[in-house]
Amino acid sequence: QSALTQPPSASGSPGQSVTISCTGTSSDVGGYNYVSWYQQHPGKAPKLMIYEVSKRPSGVPDRFSGSKSGNTASLTVSGLQSEDEADYYCSSYAGSNNSVVFGGGTKLTVL
Partner 1 sequence: EVQLVESGGGLVQPGRSLRLSCAASGFTFDDYAMHWVRQAPGKGLEWVSGISWNSDTIGYVDSVKGRFTISRDNAKNSLYLQMNSLRAEDTAFYYCAKDTNYGDYVGAFDIWGQGTTVTVSS
Residues 50-89 interacting with partner 1 (rule: CB under 8 A): 51-52, 57, 87, 89
Which residue in the set 24, 84, 105, 110 belongs to the binding site for partner 1 (CB under 8 A)?
105
In this structure, which long-range contacts are made by residues 99-105, counting pairs with CB atoms below 8 Å and at least 24 apart in sequence? 99/1, 101/1, 101/2, 101/3, 101/4, 101/24, 101/28, 102/3, 102/4, 103/3, 103/4, 103/5, 103/6, 103/22, 104/3, 104/4, 104/5, 104/6, 104/8, 105/6, 105/8, 105/40
12, 74, 103, 110: residue in contact with partner 1 (rule CB under 8 A): 103
CB of 36 vs partner 1, minimal distance in Å? 4
Give the footprint of partner 1 on this chain (CB under 8 A). Answer: 1, 3, 32, 34, 36, 38, 40, 45-48, 51-52, 57, 87, 89, 91-94, 97-105
